[in-house]
Amino acid sequence: MRVRQNRDLLQPARSAPAAATKRVSALAIPAWLPLGGLLLVSGAETVRVTGAHRELFFNIDHFWVLYLLLPFAIGLIIYGIARRSRIWRLGRADFSFDNLPTRIARVLRGGMGTERVLRDPYSGVMHLCIMTSMIVLFLVTALLAIDDYIPVDILVGPRYLGYSLVADIFGLIGVIGVAMAVAHRWVRPRTAWLPTWEDWFIVGGLGVLLVSGFFVEGLRIQASEIHTNPEWSYWSPVGYVVALIFSGLSTAAVLDIHKALWWFHMIGALSWISLLGYSKINHLVMAPVNAFLKRTSAPGKLELIENIEEQEHFGVSQLEHFSMKQLFELDVCVRCGRCTDSCPADIAGQPLSPMHIIQDLKSYATAVGERKVTNLVRGDEINFGLGDAPAMVGEVVRDESLWACRTCGACVEACPVFIEHIPTIVDMRRSLVMEEARMPDTVQGTLETLERQGHPWRGTPYTRESWMEALDLDPAEITWTGEQEYLYFVGCTGAFVDRAQAITRSVVSLLREAEVSFGILAGMESCNGDPARRLGHEYLYQILAEGLIAAFDEAGVKKIITHCPHCFNVFLNEYPDMGGHYEVIHHTQLLEQLLTEGKLEPREVEPQTITYHDSCYLGRHNDIFEAPRRILEQVPNVTLVEMPRSREQGLCCGAGGGNMWMEEQGASRVNEVRVQEAADTGADTACTACPFCIQMFDAGVGTVQMNVEEADKLQVLDIAEILQTSAARDS
């Protein structure tokens, strides 16, 4: 059974005095300025040019009323957004505008180009229909206005007829899009959502507007064109068909109906567009803004809490602890459910739905954020009288949802409006761990082991040197002296987990085979803090990271090899914030390089089919998709097959975000889902490049293929192990 975040606890909001709108949000300015301008032109022109070429306001009296309604609608939008912006402004103002070209490109491609929306064929087409229809109809209207204003008539003769045809076609495309949207909600509802009044207003309203537009057109044609210039009306095919429906009516009746429908259409259009300030229609402006605001760093990167010892709170337990951007993006969510559909926890029936976290926070922001704003406006303490409000962390978003997150980034990758779920979820975890010390027992045990023993593997019988015992070499040969080029950072898993020790040995063999200059720190190594950080213990992370950076710097480390994507990610993306700047290379990258340089020569292996599983922290978080595949392609006799979910869409093994050390809650285990996907490819071997994925796969094979003959079971190997059998001399 899916656990839903609880909405019943939300209190109704008290309305806030309008005085609070005086301060106009920095965010709201980019939101409403261009919007207001566009609306002004399009609205005015729509009104002014209807029936152009014949009569400005064909059949319409008192059209000046529209000139009053139009600014009113615009005012409503501005008011709505400005009012909402007060909640966003509860947050911390820490914006980053680094890498402007990247941001601008993302706005163009992902924001306005809706690149990610198109990944899903059905809703991509649906969205494209509606979006292009609205854009074209807007341009059509604008063109008509321009034509009417300028002294020269452009839209005459064939040009006008072509223009009419395009307008009709895109009107029809819009209707198709709306029909698809309706069908989507009735026929093929996504797992994650059920339509709400908001959907029906927006989708239904748009449909009614498009249809009523055709009726207004048809009635106009029936009342004029069809009699005066019937050949013109063929160029408005839909309008013409509608006109025929009314052919039995008297001209006076047609004119009366036209007049009524025209007003209905116009007021409806203004009402609908006013929802931009109050509903998810806002995404047509805010999604591109969010595309701009999204960080340009690796999606899994967590932000440093600076001066942590002086903080008044740790992590996020109140709305005002979020950044403005985090609060803003709650309102950008369109409830498309793609995040939840791609979430490994949700796929395995576990109590996490990223979309519901965002939506529940949004509802909470509406209910409780308004009251906080009111308190501030009145000069009260921000949480005055909020004792009855539900706890944001624990009640609105439940602990088990926060713990179920693998920080795999599938949701972030899937989100068409560029919401970043990971920092929001980890921020709340930080509060659980550091503020409240409330966590599953196994998490507590892991953190305690990290504190005391400098590694997360509670109960391990090994030391950091144990793995060397099975190697036929003098440890001194590979001990870091400061003279070597690379430090091979074995990592806790590579040292303390027997299965991963084999990977470590394979990497060492390959590096020696290729005569790479490297050394290891052995007993001087300690955890880099990654597990503590993912588990929300930022303070412990910083202590561990400071210690390791000091050790690295003392040892003169410049370049680091890791076989663990989690170590790789933290060194590459997060250590610079702590003052640790190193050249970091993952073993897949280095091994590929060594193959290319001819320093390693792949030899034949037993003919086998291999499916490569992307580690989240190697692939999605750090864009290393091709290096491992290119390695496998070079090994003779290996046939590479892909799982349906791979590369950017790869499914997590289930271990990420510290879940390696947690007991999963829910219908099934993520690793079993993933192993089944690997087994379904028919591959003999599942290859990965992460010591966590390996363990999860091993465990998954044990249950998924329990009744499969030993020889037919999926073999689970690290890429270094495959290459070692193929390339290294001591294989």
Partner 1 sequence: MSTILVIGETEAGALTAATCELLGAANRLTAELGGDVALALIGAEPAAVEAAGPAGADTVYRAADASLVQYQTDAHLPLAQQIVEQDSPRVVLLAQSSMGRDLAPRLATRLGSAAAMDALALEVEGDRVRVTRSCYGGNARQVVTVKTDPQVITVRAKSQDPLEPDASRSAEIVDVAPSDADLRARVTSKDAAESEGVRLEDAEIVVSGGRGLGGPEAFGDLEQLAGVLGAAVGSSRAACDLGWYPPSQQVGLTGTVVSPTLYLAIAISGASQHMAGCGGSKNIVAINKDPDAAIFAFSRFGIVDDYKKVLPALESALKDALAG
Partner 2 sequence: MDAIVCVKQIPDPETPAAAFRVDEAAMRVLPAQGISPVISPFDAQAVEAALRLKDAAGEGSVNIVSLGPDSARDAIKHSLAMGADDGYHLHDDAFEGGDAWTTALALSKAIQHLGVPDVILFGRQAADWDQGSVGSIVAELLDLPSATVLRAVEGGAGSLTVSRVVGDGFETIEIPTPCVLTISNEFGDPRYPQLRQIMQAARKQVAELTPADIGLEPSQVGAAGARLEMHALFQPTSDVDVEIIEGDTPEEKAAGLVAALRNAKIL
> What secondary structure letter does DSSP report for 52?
T
Out of partner 1, partner 2, none, what residue 463 binds, judged by CB under 5 to 8 A for its kind, is partner 2
CB of 322 to partner 1, least distance (A): 31
Out of partner 2, partner 1, none, what residue 596 binds, judged by CB under 5 to 8 A for its kind, is none
Out of partner 2, partner 1, none, what residue 448 binds, judged by CB under 5 to 8 A for its kind, is partner 2
Q: Does residue 437 touch partner 2 according to CB under 8 A?
A: yes
Rounded-to-integer distance, Cα 238 and Cα 214, Å: 7
Segment interacting with partner 2, rule: CB under 8 A, options 95-103, 229-237, 457-465, 714-722: 457-465
Segment interacting with partner 2, rule: CB under 8 A, options 118-126, 264-272, 339-347, 437-445: 437-445
Which of the residues 691 through 720 are near partner 1 (CB under 8 A)?
A: 695, 698-699, 702-703, 706
Place of tokens 């400098």: 454
Which of the residues 573 through 592 are near partner 1 (CB under 8 A)?
A: none
Query: Which of 88, 328, 364, 457 contacts partner 1 by CB under 8 A?
Result: 457
CB of 703 to partner 1, least distance (A): 5
Rounded-to-integer distance, Cα 467 and Cα 486, Å: 19
Q: Does residue 546 touch partner 2 according to CB under 8 A?
A: no
Rounded-to-integer distance, Cα 398 and Cα 425, Å: 11
Query: Which of 441, 474, 483, 597 contacts partner 2 by CB under 8 A?
Result: 441
Rounded-to-integer distance, Cα 174 and Cα 182, Å: 12
Out of partner 1, partner 2, none, what residue 706 binds, judged by CB under 5 to 8 A for its kind, is partner 1
CB of 310 to partner 1, least distance (A): 36
- The DSSP result for 188-243, as a single string, is S--TT----HHHIIIIIHHHHHHHHHHHHHHHHHHHTHHHH-HHHHTTSHHHHHHH
Nearer of residues 220 and 455 to partner 2, judged by Cβ: 455
Q: Does residue 459 touch partner 1 according to CB under 8 A?
A: yes
What does the per-residue mask of binding to partner 1 show for 434-453, with x meaning CB under 8 A? Answer: --------x--x--------
Out of partner 1, partner 2, none, what residue 703 binds, judged by CB under 5 to 8 A for its kind, is partner 1
**Tokens linked to 311:** 């903080």
For CA atoms 467, 473, 479, 485, give the dihedral sign. negative
CB of 544 to partner 1, least distance (A): 20
Q: Does residue 157 touch partner 1 according to CB under 8 A?
A: no
Query: Which of 61, 309, 597, 709 contacts partner 2 by CB under 8 A?
Result: 309
Rounded-to-integer distance, Cα 7 and Cα 408, Å: 26
CB of 432 to partner 2, least distance (A): 11
Q: Does residue 661 touch partner 1 according to CB under 8 A?
A: yes
Task: Identify the CA nearest to 411 among candidates 423, 427, 399, 393.
Answer: 423
Rounded-to-integer distance, Cα 423 and Cα 411, Å: 12
Nearer of residues 23 and 313 to partner 2, judged by Cβ: 313
Query: Which of 314, 518, 541, 568 contacts partner 2 by CB under 8 A?
Result: 314
CB of 653 to partner 1, least distance (A): 14
Cβ atoms within 10 Å, residue 673: 20
At 338, the amino acid letter reads R
Q: Does residue 447 touch partner 2 according to CB under 8 A?
A: yes
Nearer of residues 246 and 314 to partner 2, judged by Cβ: 314
Residues contacting residue 302 through CB under 8 Å, at least 6 positions apart: 422, 423, 426, 533, 534, 538, 574
Query: Which of 335, 356, 398, 455 contacts partner 2 by CB under 8 A?
Result: 455
Q: Does residue 306 touch partner 2 according to CB under 8 A?
A: no
Residues contacting residue 450 through CB under 8 Å, at least 6 positions apart: 456, 527, 529, 531, 532, 537, 540, 544
CB of 505 to partner 2, least distance (A): 17
Residues contacting residue 170 through CB under 8 Å, at least 6 positions apart: 132, 133, 136, 137, 140
Nearer of residues 73 and 439 to partner 2, judged by Cβ: 439
**Tokens linked to 142:** 């604008």
List phi, psi (to 5°) of 361.
Answer: -65, -35
Per the DSSP assignment, residues forming a β-bridge with 716 are 686
At 627, the amino acid letter reads A
What does the per-residue mask of binding to partner 2 show for 460-499, with x meaning CB under 8 A? Answer: xxxxx-x---------------------------------
Share in percent of the chain as helix, strand, coil (round to 5): 60, 5, 35
Per the DSSP assignment, residues forming a β-bridge with 479 are 520
Rounded-to-integer distance, Cα 191 and Cα 340, Å: 8
Calculate the CA 489 to chain-centre distance.
31
At 48, the amino acid letter reads R
Out of partner 2, partner 1, none, what residue 215 binds, judged by CB under 5 to 8 A for its kind, is none
Out of partner 1, partner 2, none, what residue 121 binds, judged by CB under 5 to 8 A for its kind, is none
Rounded-to-integer distance, Cα 339 and Cα 405, Å: 12
**Tokens linked to 389:** 């409000």
Contact residues: partner 2, CB under 8 A: 309, 314, 433-437, 439, 441, 444, 447-449, 451-455, 458-464, 466, 523, 526, 539
By the criterion CB under 8 A, which residues form the site for partner 1? 442, 445, 457-461, 497-499, 661-663, 669, 695, 698-699, 702-703, 706
